[in-house]
Each structure stands twice: as structure tokens, then as C-alpha cells.
Amino acid sequence: MSSTTITPVFAPRHSDGVLNRLRRTIRARFVAQRTRAALLKLTPRELEDVGLAPSDIDRVARRVAGI
């Protein structure tokens, strides 16, 4: 006797569901937004002390959030 496994046609290909991806996306955008807000509070001199220019803020916020 042989055993046969039947996979439903609509089974997700990955264990990562749509809701988990949505949750991660929302969380990443929230982290980016908070990082950007924190960096915007710094003066240009303070940004320079950490090696950033005001024009770097958006790029750094996205990188921190993994976007």
C-alpha cells in the first residue's frame, strides 16, 4: 500500500501569510516614520556629529526600517 498526500490547489506557497506580511509592512513603515521624526529633531550640527546630512534623513529612516 502507498500513501498519497493531496495538497489543496489554493494552499499558500509559503508559511508567511498575507496578514503577517501586512503586519511587517506596517511595522516597518512605523519604524521609518519614528526614526525620521527623531532625526528631524536634531540640528544640522548634531546630524553632522553622527556623520549625517539633513538630506540623508529619509534614506537612513528607510534603511533602519528595512524598507
Q: Rounded to whole angstroms, how far apart are CA atoms 23 and 2? A: 41
Positive/negative CA dihedral, 6, 12, 13, 16: negative
Per-residue model confidence (pLDDT) at position 45: 96
Count of structural domains, the chain: 1
Per-residue model confidence (pLDDT) at position 17: 87
Per-residue model confidence (pLDDT) at position 67: 87
Could you tell me if residue 37 is inside a domain?
yes
Per-residue model confidence (pLDDT) at position 15: 61
Could you tell me if residue 49 is inside a domain?
yes
Are 61 and 29 contacting, i.e. CB atoms less than 8 angstroms apart? no
Containing domain of residue 58, as a range? 18-65
Are 44 and 54 contacting, i.e. CB atoms less than 8 angstroms apart? yes
Could you tell me if residue 3 is inside a domain?
no
Q: Within the chain, which residues score under 70 in pLDDT?
A: 1-15
Q: What pTM does this model have?
A: 0.69
Closest CA to 39 of 29, 27, 31: 31
